[in-house]
Structure formats: structure tokens, C-alpha cells
Amino acid sequence: MTAPTTTAAHPRAVRYLHHDAAERPFIVIWEVTRACQLVCTHCRADAITTRNPFELSTVEGKRLLDDLASFGAPRPLVVLTGGDPFERPDLPELVAHGTGLGLSMALSPSVTAKLTREVLVELHDAGAKAVSLSLDGATAQTHDAFRGIDGVFDDTFTAARTIKDIGFRLQINTTVTSANVHELPQILKAVLELGASLWSVFFLVPTGRGKLLEPLTAAQEEEVLHWLHDVSSLVAIKTTEAPHYRRIALQRAGVDALDEAFGVGPLRAELRRDTAGLFAAHPPKPRRPRPPIDVNSGKGFAFVDHVGIVYPSGFLPAPAGSVRARPFPEIYRESVLLKSLRDPDSFGGKCGRCEFRTVCGGSRSHAFATTGDPLAEDPSCLHEPA
């Protein structure tokens, strides 16, 4: 495989932050609770059905939002996740508080009986802008097997239509494993039919209950990332725990004969064939692709868990500090761990000598899950640095 490797030559293939990622995050995910009524096989949080009495209280949560707003403009995007955030009765109060501070608030609920139109309308009135739902299979059989409960697949489509109808932006999240990778074209079709503004594709990190599932090999992941870039003209795509999507976007930029330059393996050929078949009768209208953004664990991105511990990512269980002991901005700017994650020259193995280390940097979560060292090389990437 031959490919161009200069990152400076194709600046529009990737979006860069307009501010210093060492000073302020672009996005903060807050796990407001770990309680959830689903039993997803890939759950990062190993969620349980009841709330932890030591969760951040309403007052502590509002203080966290105050601290996030104190970064000033551009303020970080805030996503309230879980567990299932709808397990918290004070969710509308937290959303209204964040909105009042000028924060852009989004929600990532589980599809359960608590996800009602009534509560969604209340959250929309409180100022929430976007809602993300998980869709991990193209059939009830695959999706419900992931979720551990029958009927969630159909309920997800109903909830997605309600979310759109109320006026939220809809995001669909899909976790890719070796079990569902062949269903990606059908999931893409569902994403388009539901009118989602963003498809967020997670690459399984073997952490939490996800340790029991089989992730893709590095070669399979490379093929899927190329396919995602192929179809990024149909829907905006974001990858999670696969920052080498940015390396691929840069490598492909300006290359006319992509197949000759990168080759097409059997998995990508299958995904491509199935995609063409699904859309043969009614080809979707292409859109201008949205380049991936240069954000990574601890570098523009941070995660706060249900008891206030800050992590570089929800999939990287190495703590950086507690918001109960220090304000979030202090932890984000001064934690030794987060600072080291923002220094690509400190990375080990091939990531440390890679020509793409400043714009990619590798999945620090994959490195940590495999070696126990968040600065080690990312084993889920196929690239061999020049």
C-alpha cells in the first residue's frame, strides 16, 4: 500500500480546534449516573440497575456545570450520559442550569420505559439540543442481543422518530465488533432513514463488559474506516476510539485512484457491494463530507464519572482527579496524565515515531486496555510509520 503521508498538504481533510486544547476541552461527557435497566453486552460502565448514593448530587452537578461554563467562549459541549441519564429525576433541572450558563447540552439515554415523549419534551423545553441513541444491529435479533432485552430494537426506532419530531438533533451511535460488522451497510440505511445528523461509530475497547466481545482486527478496522470515509458523503460520521480515521482522511485527500493507492480487501469489498445493493433503487443525495475533528482522549475531550472522577475518556479508566477535590478546569489543565496525553512525543512504540502522531495520536484507550500504559502504541492501527 502506498499513500501520501504529509499532514500539512491537505488541511481541509481534518478539522482543527480553533482554541488550544491544553487550555479548554471541546467536549465533556458527564456520566450523571451508572444506573440503567438495560444489560448491554459491551457496557463500558458495567452498569447496574440502582443508583449509587455517592453519585454527584444536584448541587455538585450544578457546580460542575458552573466550572465548565467558566472556561468561557467557546464553551465545551456537554453530553449527559450514563448508565441511563433518565434514571435521574433532576435531569431537566441540570439541563436547564447548563443551558442558562450558555452550555450546549446533549443527552445520551438508554431506550427504556423511562424514555417517554413527556420527559423528552420537558428536556427540550429545558434547552437540550441533541439526543443520541444506540443502534448496534440492523435486525432485532442482533441489536436486542447486544442490549440484553427483547423489544429494544423496535422501541429505538419509535424513540428516534419522537426525538426528531420534538425538534432535537438526532445522533445514532453504533459499536462495531466482529459480530455486527457485516451489518454496517444496513445500519447506515437506517441512520439515513431516521434522519440522523451524525453517525457516531465506536470501535470496541475491551474494557468493562466489552472484554467479553471480539473487537475487529487492525486490518478489519482499516477496511471499515476506508468504507466509512467512502460513505461520509451520505451522512456526517464521527469515529470514537479510532483516531486513525483522521490519518486515513489525510492519506486519501487529493488521491484520485483510491483503490489503486490503498487496495480493497474482502471486508471492504463486501461492505461496498452491500451498500450499492441497498441503495440501487433509491440512491441517497450526496452531501458535503464533514471532516473528522482533531480531538482525542485528554486533548479536547474529557469524561467525568458518576462520582466525579475525571478520566481522559470513558474507555480509559486511569483517573486524573476528582471534581469533589479540585475544580474541573484545574484538573483538565494541570493533571500530569492529561498533559502527557497531549504530548504526542511521549507516546511509545510506533505512535511515538509516527508522522501522524500530532493529528492522530492513536486510541489511548486501546493502548491502555492492551498494555496498562495509556502512552503505549495503539495496537488497533495497521499503519507502519515511514
Residues that bind ligand SF4 (CB under 6 A): 244, 247, 350-351, 354, 356-357, 360-362, 378, 381, 383, 385
Selection from 321, 363, 323 nearest residue 341 by Cα: 363
Closer residue to ligand SF4 (CB): 331 or 381 = 381
- Strands (E) in 225-283, as ranges, are 237-240
Residue corresponding to grid cell 487496495: 263
Q: What are the backbone angles phi and psi of residue 287, rounded to the nearest 5°?
A: -125, 170
Q: How far is the CB of 335 from ligand SF4 (least distance, A)?
A: 22
Query: For residues 174 and 204, what is the distance between their CA atoms, to the nearest angstrom?
Result: 10
Q: How far is the CB of 354 from ligand SF4 (least distance, A)?
A: 3
Q: How far is the CB of 382 from ligand SF4 (least distance, A)?
A: 8
Closer residue to ligand SF4 (CB): 30 or 245 = 245
Q: How far is the CB of 259 from ligand SF4 (least distance, A)?
A: 21
- Is there a contact between 84 and 33 (Cβ–Cβ < 8 Å)? yes
What is the secondary structure of 46-110 as a DSSP string? --BSS--TTS--HHHHHHHHHHHHTT-SSPPEEEEESS-GGG-TTHHHHHHHHHHTT-EEEE---
Closer residue to ligand SF4 (CB): 76 or 374 = 374
The amino acid at 49: T
Q: How far is the CB of 280 from ligand SF4 (least distance, A)?
A: 34
Q: How far is the CB of 198 from ligand SF4 (least distance, A)?
A: 22
Q: What are the backbone angles phi and psi of residue 337, rounded to the nearest 5°?
A: -60, -50
Closer residue to ligand SF4 (CB): 189 or 383 = 383
Closer residue to ligand SF4 (CB): 163 or 354 = 354
H helix runs in 101-231, sequence order: 117-125, 140-147, 152-166, 184-193, 218-231
- Is there a contact between 328 and 362 (Cβ–Cβ < 8 Å)? no
Q: How far is the CB of 239 from ligand SF4 (least distance, A)?
A: 12
Q: How far is the CB of 333 from ligand SF4 (least distance, A)?
A: 24
Closer residue to ligand SF4 (CB): 278 or 293 = 293
Closer residue to ligand SF4 (CB): 147 or 357 = 357
The amino acid at 18: H
Helices 140-147/152-166 angle, 10° precision? 90
Closer residue to ligand SF4 (CB): 73 or 386 = 386
